[in-house]
């Protein structure tokens, strides 16, 4: 019987705890006894998360971060050393913001490394070509189309970093070259610019070219994006979706947000039903999820005075969803404020606010920044 390890890496932020909860719940229902779930983190994780992971038979381990700034997107490469200490035939490296409808272990094969080509041209063709030349692969051609931008071109090994499926032998071979080339990409700041955050996926591309390992692309349904608007899905035949990559697009209750596309939303509804049903089955009895303390960051983001000790898993998940939603809204509000109004905006908000974080949270909760600016000007 083939044994599988399915692993994800989360950073230190409540939104990642929520994503990992959805990840564990979706996989707990569909995995078999030969599958092991691993959640790696790079910093603080609250006690209730360890208890939840235990309930869903997932192992939580700390790893060291790859670096700071854009290098945090390479943190997933830090799990390799520990994964290779585990005995398994197939390794599935997954982002935490994927909800699975069926086990990704089915995509494993002993013959090739597997991943799905990028959804969009990240980085653009000219930048990718220049990177390949700098890395010593000038003969490589961009002869493939991103899954959702068929009029663009990219390299066939430029893959979405959300899901990799590979054998122990392939992971062992890729471990050092992948890290080496990711670091190389992080040093190309002038060339990559904002695409520096894609250094992990570009490191994979360059490592695969160096090692010349066999590659078999995953079908689009294995790592299916559900963060686009409905127009992006028009005219496409959508079937056999097994993994929903939602890129942090959650509603206020922590469920996957609907796309508005009639061919896609049934899969989203199915994922939400699986997650909600599992919480309903077990959440009320998870007394070991409770803890008497909350971190300061947790208190600020969630913004209520009721201790976690009084909440069950459903309530905590809902709060995490709302916290992520509030932060997105606050960021959008701040971006919408013109430069000339920012001073008035801050001056008004900081009156009676204990910190900037509280101020931004108050905007997200209480609303209209334009009215606040007017009030401050009239004061």
pLDDT digits (tens, 9 = 90+) for 114-125: 999 999 999 999
CA dist 265 and 167 (Å) reads 33
C-beta separation of 211 from 173 below 8 A: yes
Q: What is the pLDDT of residue 376?
A: 43
Structure tokens at 215: 């590659």
* DSSP code for 33: T
Given this model, what pLDDT does residue 320 score? 62
> In this model, does residue 186 exceed pLDDT 50?
yes
Find how far residue 149's CA is from the centre of its chain. 21
Fold of 4-223: Spore Coat Polysaccharide Biosynthesis Protein SpsA; Chain A (3.90.550)
25 and 49 Cβ atoms separated by less than 8 Å? no
The pLDDT assigned to 377 comes to 44
pLDDT of 336 reads 57
Q: What is the pLDDT of residue 321?
A: 64
* pLDDT of 291 over the 50 cut: no
Q: Which residue has the higher pLDDT, 328 or 7?
A: 7
Least confident segment among 49-58, 134-143, 231-240, 278-287: 278-287
Mean of all residue pLDDT scores within the chain:
81
**Burial of 75: CB neighbours in 10 Å, binned 0-12, 13-18, 19+:** buried
pLDDT of residue 216: 97
The domain locations on the chain are: 4-223, 294-378
Length of the chain: 379
Question: Which pLDDT score, from 0 to 100, does residue 334 have?
Answer: 55
First to last CA, the chain: 73
Instruction: List pLDDT tens digits, range 307-352.
Output: 333 344 555 556 666 666 666 666 665 555 545 455 555 555 544 4
Q: Is the pLDDT of residue 274 over 60?
A: yes
């Amino acid at each position: 019987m083939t044994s599988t390890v399915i692993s994800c890496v989360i950073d230190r932020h409540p939104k990642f705890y929520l994503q990992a909860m959805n990840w564990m719940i979706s996989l707990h229902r569909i995995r078999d006894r030969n599958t092991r779930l691993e959640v790696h983190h790079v910093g603080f994780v609250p006690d209730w998360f360890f208890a939840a992971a235990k309930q869903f038979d997932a192992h939580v381990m700390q790893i060291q971060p790859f670096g700071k700034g854009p290098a945090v997107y390479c943190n997933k490469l830090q799990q390799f050393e520990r994964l290779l200490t585990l005995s398994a035939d197939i390794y599935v490296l997954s982002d935490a913001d994927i909800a699975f409808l069926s086990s990704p272990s089915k995509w494993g094969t002993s013959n090739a490394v597997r991943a799905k080509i990028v959804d969009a041209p990240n980085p653009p063709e000219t930048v990718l070509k220049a990177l390949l030349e700098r890395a010593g692969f000038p003969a490589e051609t961009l002869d493939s189309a991103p899954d959702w931008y068929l009029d663009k071109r990219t390299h066939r090994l430029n893959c979405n970093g959300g899901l990799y499926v590979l054998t122990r032998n392939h992971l062992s071979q890729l471990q050092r070259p992948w890290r080496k080339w990711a670091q190389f990409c992080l040093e190309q700041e002038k060339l990559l610019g904002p695409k520096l955050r894609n250094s992990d996926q570009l490191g994979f591309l360059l490592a695969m070219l160096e090692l010349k390992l066999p590659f078999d692309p995953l079908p689009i349904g294995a790592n299916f994006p559900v963060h686009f608007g409905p127009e992006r899905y028009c005219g496409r035949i959508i079937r056999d979706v097994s993994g929903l990559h939602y890129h942090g697009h959650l509603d206020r209750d922590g469920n996957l947000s609907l796309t508005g596309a009639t061919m896609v939303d049934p899969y989203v509804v199915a994922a939400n039903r699986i997650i909600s049903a599992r919480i309903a089955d077990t959440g009320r009895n998870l007394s070991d999820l409770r803890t008497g303390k909350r971190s300061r960051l947790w208190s600020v983001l969630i913004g209520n005075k009721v201790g976690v000790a009084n909440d069950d898993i459903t309530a905590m998940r809902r709060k995490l969803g709302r916290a992520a939603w509030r932060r997105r809204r606050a960021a959008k509000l701040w971006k919408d404020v013109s430069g000339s109004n920012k001073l008035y905006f801050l001056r008004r908000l900081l009156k009676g606010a204990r910190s900037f974080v509280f101020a931004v949270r108050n905007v997200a909760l209480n609303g209209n920044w334009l009215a606040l600016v007017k009030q401050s000007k009239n004061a």
